[in-house]
Amino acid sequence: EPEVTQTPSHQVTQMGQEVILRCVPISNHLYFYWYRQILGQKVEFLVSFYNNEISEKSEIFDDQFSVERPDGSNFTLKIRSTKLEDSAMYFCASSALTSSYEQYFGPGTRLTVT
Amino acid sequence: AQSVTQLGSHVSVSEGALVLLRCNYSSSVPPYLFWYVQYPNQGLQLLLKYTSAATLVKGINGFEAEFKKSETSFHLTKPSAHMSDAAEYFCAVSGDGNKLVFGAGTILRVKS
């Protein structure tokens, strides 16, 4: 069964460093998303991406964040200068054109900023 | 705007007993509603979805949920709990664009 994959599973970085979280969505999906879950809090929407551009973003997704689909398979989230409060589990999700509301999630990347 | 409230951050049931996890939503547009399950150290797995067809929705692993517009509820049930059902369950709503708005989650514990 096709699934969303994410790498790395755990990333530790120092405050102020740049990180790139990688995702490989399900191959025939055209909508891509990033969510995050700070420990003990709700899963929060960050951004959605379709047709090579951001279709929606939350107020969390400020100028420190960017997303890219560098090739036909990867979808990345870059945090330009990490802060302590960026420590969270980051989930990538994807959905198909015909059922765009039905999102399939990856296993997540746990980001720890020290 | 959409929001979700899950009543009970922790629910404990005995093996074989009924599972009832509560979810109430708020939406300014007709909603799509979802239940996801998260096992320890794993991602979010879609259990079931409501997309304005049948109000009683059946999902994987014997779970089902009923959409009740008058009560703005989408509670998750399973007639007989199994040890393998122990996990965290999230209710989510979508309706204004594709983004999902999640509830805070309910941790289900199953006692032997």
Residue of B nearest to A95 (CA): B98
pLDDT exceeds 80 at position B95: no
Q: Is the CB of residue B65 less than 8 Å from the CB of residue B12?
A: no
Residue in B99, B102, B107 to test binding to A, most A beta-carbons within 10 Å: B99
Percent of chain A's residues with pLDDT above 90: 82
Q: What pLDDT score does A58 carry?
A: 94
Residues 6+ apart with CB under 8 A from A53: none
Higher pLDDT, B29 or B111: B111
Residues 6+ apart with CB under 8 A from B74: B23, B24, B25, B33, B35, B50, B65, B66, B67, B68, B91
Q: Is the CB of residue A82 less than 8 Å from the CB of residue A19?
A: yes
**DSSP secondary structure letters along A72-85:** SS-EEEEESS--GG
Q: What pLDDT score does B1 carry?
A: 79
Contacts of B49 in chain A (CB under 8 A): 101-102
Please give the mean pLDDT across all residues of chain B. Answer: 93
Q: What pLDDT score does A74 carry?
A: 93
pLDDT band at residue A37 using 50, 70 and 90 as cut-offs: very high
Selection from A112, A3, A109 nearest residue A46 by Cα:
A109
Q: What pLDDT score does A53 carry?
A: 93
Q: Is B86 exposed, middle or buried (0-12, 13-18, 19+ CB in 10 A)?
A: middle
Q: Is the CA virtual torsion B71, B9, A36, B76 positive or negative?
A: negative
Whether residue A33 and residue B99 make contact (CB cut-off 8 A), yes or no, is yes
pLDDT exceeds 80 at position B27: yes
Q: What pLDDT score does A48 carry?
A: 95
pLDDT exceeds 90 at position B29: no
Q: What pLDDT score does A35 carry?
A: 97
Tokens of B75: 């509670």
3-state percent helix, strand, coil for chain A, nearest multiple of 5:
5, 50, 45
**Per-residue pLDDT reduced to its tens digit, A73-101:** 899 999 999 999 999 999 999 999 887 78
**From the centroid of its chain, how far is CA A113?**
16
Cα separation, A81 vs B50, in Å, equals 39
Partners of B92 in beta bridges: B34, B102
Residues 6+ apart with CB under 8 A from A98: none
Q: Is the CB of residue A72 less than 8 Å from the CB of residue A30?
A: no
B62 backbone dihedrals φ, ψ, rounded to 5°:
80, 5
Residue in B44, B51, B104 closest to A101 by CB: B51
Q: What pLDDT score does B31 carry?
A: 86
Q: What pLDDT score does B60 carry?
A: 93
Residue in A95, A100, A105 closest to B43 by CB: A105
Whether residue A105 and residue B36 make contact (CB cut-off 8 A), yes or no, is yes
Percent of chain B's residues with pLDDT above 90: 79
Q: What pLDDT score does A98 carry?
A: 80
Whether residue A100 and residue B98 make contact (CB cut-off 8 A), yes or no, is yes
